[in-house]
Structure formats: structure tokens, C-alpha cells
Chain A
């Protein structure tokens, strides 16, 4: 599995570059080249940041879910590093999604927050992720930490379909899905920058995941090395 780390070291730069280029292009297309919305005017431009952030947060949780199953199956510590990295990134993106959504809600709904099913279920996702990260800090044994965290991530995944379908199940303030099985309810001028931004955020997420996984892997390696040095020192002190 060291191959995974090697692969990450080799290709992470490419992902960072592609993600960066896509996001800069998307920002230009979304903020300068696309027309303002008929109803919302210039306010709609926050969509080009809000929607990709939320999508990527949910993508990150899905990676955490898949990684957790993979970990319980194979018990590979590097997969656990990957899960921990995905959870941290997902928590930041979820908080970002809530904040940008709130900024968008103030001019359009005339309120920062409303107890709408989509908003509540998304906020619950943040709480689950914070609980996940907290749980990890409270366990001393690394193997048990990885195992318990994986179980929590899998059980918590139940929230994700609720987030996704909440706007269909409960018709409240939040608008229903613009891109779904029924087709696309959005003009091409607005769809193009949104797609470029989304792709940019997904690729950037993969880049962040690669960097963070390596950091966590190196931290574990350092701990193991320290343990080995301590053990050598201890053994050489023993009377022969």
C-alpha cells in the first residue's frame, strides 16, 4: 500500500495545478462573463462558490464512507489516514457551505437562517463530522481509533441521502434540485461556469486529500520511528 503514497507524491502537483486553473477560469466566467440572474440580479453569483463547496463537502463525506468500509475490510492504516483527511476537509467544506449559503439567504430569503429540512440536515452533517474528529482525539490506541471512527462514519452516512433528497421530500424555502433526473433547469450561460467551478473544486479536493493523507501518514511514521528509537535506547541501557 506504500504504492498509494508513492503515487500521491508523484501526481499531487498535477491535481493542484488543474484544480487551480479550473477555479480561476470558473471565477472569471462566473463573476465577469456570465449574465446576472433575472430575479436575483448580481446576488446569484455566490452560487458559483456555494454550490461547488456543498457538492464537494458531500463528495468528501462519500469518500470518507467508502474509505471506512475499505478500512474495516482490509485494516490498512494508510486508508485510515485517507479517511481522517477526508473527514477534516469535509468538515471545513460543510462549514463553508453553511456560511456561503447564509450569505446568499440574507438578500434572497431576507433571513440568515431558517429551519428548513435541507439546512438542518446539512448542519447535522457538520455536527456528525465534528463528533467524528472529536472521537478520534479521545482514543489512545491507534487501531481502535481507526475502527471506531470507521463505524461512526458508516452509521452517520444515513444523513447524506436526507441532505440530498430533503428539498424533494419537504417543499420549503430551499429551491429544489436544478440538475436532476428530470433534466436541467438552468441557462447554458450560468451552467458552464458552474460546471467549471465544480470540476475545479472536485480536483482541488483530491489534491487536498492527497496532501493531507501524506501528512497524517508521515505523522504516524514519525511516531513509530520515535518508538523504535526509544526501544533501542532502552535495550542498550539494560544490563548485559
Chain B
């Protein structure tokens, strides 16, 4: 089967089953909502404090939500031996990885785009000017989290204690992505000149490339055996 068709079909399969069950998106969304509420209770923030903290809070919410989505990504394949069928399917394993990655990025970005207006409302943010840059940061950081996350999701789903192992393996590796995302988001929200935080955007882009190449290459050993 041609490479790009495999990517398209795997992503399409995940998206269509999500549209039918709405299981992943709704659990991600409500979990993130609870995280936002807990944070707003924990810190009684004025405008100044909100400006300082909001970037960190936002990315904690997005990362934890992403882990829920990523964990479900391959867990769904355990039923009816779907994982074995993926393993013996004639298409390239890398294409299966890219299809899964595409679906995961779409899920995470959807949740982020729904949640971001809530941050704006709950924490009184002024974001109109920063919007294009913020979307760029969201896209880069979401890709960074999803590349390693998709690989580790395929790995941890085949081991014991899988719910615990995914965050334990993913979060340490995602630390650089998280730091860069928080710094770039803070810069964009504060309206700083781009030159001040362009380094962090570069770091995100570098990590995206490194992690995509590594994960694409390593996926064969995770699914194949």
C-alpha cells in the first residue's frame, strides 16, 4: 500500500472512530477544564500575577490533557487484536506512526483551541495581537509533545502498569519542549518583541525535527519486534 495512503487511512480511522464515540476528546476536554478550575482556586490571582503564571498553567493543562489523549491512542488498538493486525499489515510501519501522530496532533490542537478562549475569559487576558504567534507556539509544542508521546504510547500499551508508565517516560523527555513552550507563550502574551523569545521558538522547531526523525525511525522496533 502506498506510503501516504497508509498515513491517511490510519489518521482517518482514528478520527472517524472519535467522531462516533467522542470518548477521547470529551475526557481530554473535561480533564483540562478541571485543571483550569483547580489552578484558579489555588492561586488567587490579580491581573499582574495572572500575566506571570498563565503561560505555565496553560501548558500544564495542555500537557496533562495531551497525556490522556496519547494514552488512549494505542489503548484502543488492544481490543479485538487490532495491534496485531497493525503489526502484520503490509504497509510501512513508519506510515502507521505518522497516521497516529497526525490524529493525536489533531486531537490535542482541537482541545487547545477550545480551551484557549476559556483561559482568555477566566483570566482576563488581552490576546488579539499575539494570536498568530500563539497559534504558532501551540502548533510547534503540540507536535513536539505528540511525536515522542505517540512513540511511547505504542510502547507502554504493550507493558504492565501502562497508565503509570506513559507519563513517567514522556514527561522527563518533554521538559525542554515544555520550558520552551512556556517561555514563548509568556513572551507572546506579554507583547514582548519577537527577538526576545525567538530562541525558544527555534528550540521548539529543533526538537520537533529531532524527535520526529528519531521516533519515526524507532517506531519500527516498537511495533515490529
Q: What residues make up the interface of A, taking CB atoms closer than 8 Å to B?
A: 72, 120-121, 124, 127-128, 130-131, 134-135, 138-140, 143-144, 147-148, 150-152, 154-156, 158-159, 162
Contact = CB atoms under 8 A, between A and B. Distances in A.
Nearest to A134: B168
A150 B221 contact: yes
B83 interface: no
B178 to A, nearest CB: 11
Given A130-B168, A151-B221, 16 more contacts: A124-B172, A124-B175, A131-B168, A138-B159, A138-B160, A138-B165, A139-B158, A139-B159, A148-B221, A152-B169, A155-B148, A155-B173, A155-B218, A158-B207, A158-B210, A158-B214
A141 to B, nearest CB: 9
Contact of A128 (B172, B176, B210): B172
Nearest to B170: A131
Contacts of A130: 168
Nearest to A151: B218
Contacts of B159: 135, 138-139, 148
Contacts of A127: 168, 171-172
A39 to B, nearest CB: 31
A129 B221 CA distance: 20
B55 interface: no
A81 to B, nearest CB: 18
Chain B residues touching A, majority SS: helix
Interface string B181-225: 000000000000000000000000001001100110010011001
Interface of B: 148, 151-152, 155, 158-161, 165, 168-169, 171-173, 175-176, 207, 210-211, 214-215, 218, 221-222, 225
Query: Which of A121, A139, A144, A148 gathers the greatest number of chain B CB atoms within 10 Å?
Result: A148
Given A124-B175, A128-B173, A135 B221 contact: no
Nearest to A132: B169
A150 to B, nearest CB: 7
B165 A152 contact: no
Nearest to B199: A169
B67 to A, nearest CB: 14
9 contacts: A120-B175, A124-B175, A128-B173, A135-B155, A139-B160, A158-B211, A158-B214, A159-B172, A159-B173
